[in-house]
Amino acid sequence: MDQKKTVIVTGFEPFGEHTVNASWVAVQELKKLGLGHNINLHVAEVPVEYQAVQTLLPSLWKQHLPQLVVHVGVSGMATTVTLEECGHNHGYLRVDNCSFCPESHCCMEGGADCIHSVIDMDAVCRRVNSSGLGVTVSVSKDAGRYLCDYTYYTSLYLGKGRSAFVHVPPLGKPYSAEELARALRAVVLEMLELMEHNDGRKHCLHDQ
């Protein structure tokens, strides 16, 4: 029997004009839906604080040893569910909920400028959009140089690329929390399938 997979999905606390953060509301709805019997789903709310991210993320990775960590954030500019391809190390100039900003304006001094996810976001996007879900998914290369991007870069570094970031629009613009949760569920399951397929291919190559 296959061992259960572990997936962590996070949302963010309220910040700025987002007095209700659609990301955390959608993630809580996803927790109700679940990802199926053979997947352990853990959810967590991430503070909109640079220093808290540096403490919380390593503990999440270490405690649960997940196959995949998916961070979800809200974007006031988004009208689709947006899959981010990479996290960036530099350009963090905006203060967080504690009025703090990293002095170096970067995530990890000496780290790579950009870390890409091991997941082919274009492939996930195509698959979910062709599934008739009723929620449009798109792909982006810029997670915004704020806590979303900062969290993504940190997680990509910790998980050696086994992480993903999904931006969602504010609630009702146009999707409800339930619709966002269904979209997140479809996205996460496609990501796991792609990762499994790629792992299988690697093993085949080693066996030759």
Of 78, 30, 19, which is closest to residue 179 (Cα–Cα)?
30
190 Cβ contact list (under 8 Å, min separation 6): 123, 124, 127, 128
Identity at 192, one-letter amino acid code: L
Nearest-angstrom CA–CA distance, 68 and 159: 8
- Active-site position among 86, 107, 125, 148: 148
Per the CB < 8 A criterion, the answer to whether 149 and 87 are in contact is yes
Per the CB < 8 A criterion, the answer to whether 111 and 88 are in contact is no
148 catalytic? Reply is: yes
Instruction: Let me know if 23 is exposed, middle or buried by CB neighbors in 10 A (0-12, 13-18, 19+).
Output: buried
7 Cβ contact list (under 8 Å, min separation 6): 35, 39, 40, 41, 42, 66, 67, 68, 69, 70, 188, 192
Nearest-angstrom CA–CA distance, 168 and 77: 9
Provide the annotated active-site residues: 148
